[in-house]
Amino acid sequence: MSLPHYFQDLSILHINTTPHHAYFIPHATHKSAVENPREYSDYFIPLNGNWQFQYFSSYWDLPENFLQLTPNRQLPVPSNWQNHGYDQHQYTNVHYPFPFDPPYVPQQNPCGWYQRQLNLAPKANKRYLLNFEGVDSCLFLYLNEQFVGYSQISHCTSEFDVTNYLHLGENNITVIVLKWCDGSYLEDQDKFRMSGIFRDVYVLEREAHYLQDFFIKTALNDDFTAANITVECVFSDHHGQDIHWQLFDPKQHLVAEKCGQDFECFLVQPILWNAEQPNLYTLVFRYGSEVICQRIGLRKIEVKNGVLLFNGQAIKFKGVNRHDSDPRTGYVIHCEQALQDLRLMKQHNFNAIRTAHYPNSPWFTELCDQYGFYVIAESDIESHGTNAVYVPTPESSILLGVKTDIDQDAIRQQTIDNYCYTARAPEFKNAILDRTHANVERDKNRTSVVIWSLGNESGYGENFEAAAAWVKARDPSRLVHYENAIFQHSTHQNDTSNLGLHSEMYTAPEDMDAYFANPQNRKPYIFCEYLHAMGNSCGDAEDYFLAMQKYPGACGGFVWEWCNHSPYLARTDRMGYGGDFGDVPNDGNFCADGLVTADRQIQSNLLELKNVQRPIRAQLKDGKVWLTNYWDFTNTAECLSIRYQLSENGIVMQEGKINGIQIAPKHTALLPLELPADNGNLWLLTLFYEQCRATDFVPATYILGFDQLNLFHRPRLPIMPPLGVEPPTKATFSVQEDTKHIRVQQQDHCYVFDKQKGILQQVFHQGKSLLQQPLDFNIWRAPLDNDGLINAHWQAAGYDRAITRAYECHVTQYESAVEIKVKSALVAVSKARILTLDVIYRLDEFGTLHIKIHGEKAPHLPFLPRFGLRFCLDHAYQQAEYFGYGPTESYIDKHQSSLLGHYHTTVRQNHVPYLKPQENGSHYGCSYVNVRSENRQIFITATTPFSFNLSPYRQEELAMKKHHDDLAESSSTVLCIDYKMSGIGSNSCGPALKQAYRLNETLFDFDVKCHFLTHSI
């Protein structure tokens, strides 16, 4: 026996599966249906656990008698076989992992053979439905050596009526799963490619004549004072009995009770559902011996005048794209894992999820109903690999000796035409419609689902137009979304009339301005993906937030993405990414783009988003503090307290707590707090917004966000804190100079300057060297993931290998100081001069080293990653105090999650271990930093706020290594003092860094003082 080739025949999508229908689990009693998870239902027969398993590198290797195999190996179900030593992991974003030759897939198509026993005594008056909630990529089902059926769509349920195949006692279930099928052309999502039975498997025992499907529809009147609930039922045959219906309100009071095959109920003063107040009614209905429980939220989604309204209120999605992904279990996500994600999302002020780019487990949206999240439910469709099909270019035509008039516009259009292949090809129409039906039918009764998405990045054409029309006809109560409708095939005129939103991804915040300036644009604007959170990222989060607030028609966005995709390498606790598994093709660490790590450790990106999305914002205006409530439905008095601190020059002078401030949603109120008078000092008012009553996910006193107001707009501390040591006594100088060096002796200190490079080469104290290497002028940083595009220009200009050379170096000794003036430049081999520098080093009688720098950058060169000084200190310097933005890493465009204040850190604490090493751990807006060993300290200030970084690694080491656990610590402590550093942005897959955040000054001055002291604080 051999497998029939259904898996590469687009005319065959399923064989002997039941029609797509709503997800529900029948129970035997009212109490069980209302209170118990599905596993406690008398009608739910779980088939999870260890199955007999055998892996074949090609389906051609299946023996003729594959139904009689007796392997001695087992594999847990659910699981992905790549996580258990079979096949290999592969990460690819766009490129198909097989030749683009639809509907065919490779002959070397790996497959998994699964088998288990089901001990059952089938009842004569029952039907038995075998459910597979997720199988990648397709499955052949055999029961007692009889072929039952075939199905695909990896992330949707395949259900088979196996009643007629069962017998009393042991029943032998055999499943053949193929790694690829023709459906894989529509499942080219940006993720690790894994295979197998990865979601739950179970049998449902149903009545002989059972309720097959139902559709709960709700309607609200215009002023939301009345609601109508109807339920339309579909039965397995025409012998439908009456159903006993009971409806309970959110407080479990019975509000309606009826009998009949359908249900309709009218409610006065209904209690509405939204993501902030997820109030749910409970509908319980009995059909024969089956009791079904469905939670119902009453809400209305509509668009008026280009504004998305939810229960009459304009809302903003504070959303995130979420994959099912875990470093150990792969695609397998259990309820507790999902709850961990939802808990973290709530605690970080997210209110919406896009199921990217496929339906999640069917119970996932039930959790979103219960805990309050808006959901964009997306079909299991993505085919952006068509982009990789070869397109001739003018350069290739020249090389090939072919005359052509191809220009860049023609190339772009040909690429778009390729992109739209599956969207237009007639042979893919049924598959796209089938996946759309599966998505909508399964989750149509979920309150949290507010938008249907047709899929992701698959071009646009007739197939998606048909899908959108079907969805709009089937469920006009929700909006239809599809971002790729912005792409148009050269021979097709797009029809977007059934799409309810204008969706874009990764465009700049200001791009919304042009959209809303056009009065023809009447659809709400949504970022279905933005803020690519790869590595040290999300630098423009605040800019996006402010841009969205400008327009009522901007309904928010969904950050890409929730978690890194980083499976553990075999038999280790080391996480990998594309290329670590011998996978070709691969897209490297482009999968490490999450707000949290793969094992759900919080990163600074998530903290930044949390505070950008804080529910309250404070503004200083005319000497008073005004608070704005950004919740859509919640008054601040219901769940918020404000704890405040007033500090003067970093010292808290007053603190307290204010309860019960009444601010209606989207309204502003005055903070009842008297502010100090201006006395010339740095006054900061810090407001912490605390949860005052516990919820399911947010404990009482949890800080939902904060604001810090600089009351008199002072950029830095006016007076530096005392050093904690006696001032050094005045000392005379001894100056020695030769052709290479200038040596300045001052009591126990000795400073050595390199005349050829014009830099401080060494500092000695009592004969001990404080610097492990000479002081550098530093313009380079270990490239961020977001620097991927600009980094090529930086390297082309030589920034990564710049060195200092001096043209002139003169020393002058005064009565109370020694001054060394240097004219120098930063240059690189084969490159033109990068910077011209005029530097004055001044040593005063108290041992303070004053470095005054005037820099001039060649105007044609790219903006600089940074400019500053790099000290390679003795390894004993492990501690630091500073006044600046902390305690998290902070940058010019990424410091919403930081507060200005005094902080302490250590070299290791300050380092951020990104999966792929890159620039990290800087602190923005500093007035001073004091780096300490046990008996020495280096106290550094500047005339303007600066950034600093303290690290165990040199930036060259960070740039060179591919994984954090490959890093070798430097023998020195690396201290960077930066005049400025360019911002973080989100350009790994987003707009270029804004001009305002670039270090692109052609002229600049940096004035630094270094105190080398011999007593610790």
Give the tens place of pLDDT for each residue, 686-703: 999 999 999 999 999 999
For 175, phi then psi, to 5°, come to -130, 130
What is the structure's pLDDT at 396?
64
Give the CATH number of domain 734-1013; options: 2.70.98.10, 3.30.420.40, 2.60.40.10, 3.40.50.1000.
Answer: 2.70.98.10
DSSP string, 860-899: TSPPBSEEEEEEEE-TT--EEEEEEEESS--BTTB-TT-E
Question: For 429, how many CA atoms within 13 A lie in the half-sphere containing its CB?
Answer: 10
Statement: residue 34 has pLDDT above 50: yes
Which residues are part of the catalytic machinery?
Answer: 457, 529
Cis peptide bond prior to 78, omega within 30° of 0: yes
The structure's pTM equals 0.96
Q: Is the dihedral of CA 419, 424, 426, 432 positive or negative?
A: positive
The pLDDT score that the predictor gives to residue 751 is 95
Kindly report, as residue ranges, where domains of CATH 2.60.120.260 are found in the chain. Answer: 5-207
Q: Two tokens at 375?
A: 């959901």
Q: Is the pLDDT of residue 749 over 90?
A: no
**Ranges of CATH 2.60.40.10 domains, the chain:** 211-300, 614-710
CATH T-level fold of 614-710: Immunoglobulin-like (2.60.40)
Residue 137 has pLDDT above 90, yes or no: yes
- For residue 72, pLDDT over 50 is answered with yes
Q: What is the pLDDT of residue 1016?
A: 47
Q: pLDDT band for 926, please (50, 70, 90 cuts).
A: very high
Residue 600: pLDDT over 50: yes
Residues in the chain: 1017
* CATH 3.20.20.80 domain extents, the chain: 312-350+510-613
Domain with CATH 2.70.98.10 in the chain: 734-1013
- The fourth-level CATH superfamily of domain 312-350+510-613 is Glycosidases (3.20.20.80)
How crowded is the C-beta side of 925, counted as CA atoms within 13 Å? 24
Model confidence band, residue 960 (pLDDT cutoffs 50, 70, 90): very high
Report the 10 Å Cβ neighbour count for 131.
21
Can you list the alpha helix ranges (DSSP code H) found in 897-988?
907-910, 955-960
Contact 302, 215 (CB under 8 A): no
Segment 629-677, tens digit of pLDDT: 999 999 999 999 999 999 999 999 999 999 999 999 999 999 999 999 9
CATH class of residue range 211-300: mainly beta
* Two tokens, residue 1001: 């000054």
- The enclosing H or E element of 797 equals none
- Confidence band, pLDDT 50/70/90 cuts, at residue 404: low
Which pair of tokens denotes residue 535? Answer: 């590595």
The share of the chain scoring above pLDDT 90, in percent, equals 92
Per-residue pLDDT at 1017: 46
Residue range 808-867, pLDDT digits in tens: 999 999 989 999 999 999 999 999 999 999 999 999 988 899 999 999 999 999 999 999
Separation between Cα atoms, residue 795 and residue 784, nearest integer Å = 14
**Each residue of 280-326: pLDDT tens digit?**
999 999 999 999 999 999 999 999 999 999 999 999 999 999 999 99
pLDDT at 730 over 80: no
Q: How far is CA 763 from CA 716, 735, 895, 936, in A?
A: 29, 14, 34, 13
Q: DSSP states of 113-143 as a string?
A: EEEEEEEE---TTEEEEEEES-EESEEEEEE
CATH class of 5-207: mainly beta
**CA 284 – CA 290 distance, rounded (Å):** 10
Q: What is the DSSP track for 144-191?
A: TTEEEEEEE-TTS-EEEE-GGG--SEEEEEEEEEES--GGGGGB--SE
Structure tokens at 221: 């009147």
The answer to whether 266 and 185 are in contact (CB under 8 A) is no
Contacts of residue 857, defined as CB under 8 A and 6 or more positions apart, other chains included, come to 834, 835, 864, 1000, 1001, 1002, 1003, 1004
Closest Cα partner for 267 from 308, 237, 297? Answer: 297
State the average pLDDT for the chain. 96
The yes-or-no verdict on residue 399 having pLDDT over 70 is: no
Tens-digit pLDDT profile for residues 414-461: 999 999 999 999 999 999 999 999 999 999 999 999 999 999 999 999
Q: Which range (237-251, 327-341, 773-787, 934-948) has the least confidence?
A: 237-251
Omega before residue 397 within 30° of 0, cis: no
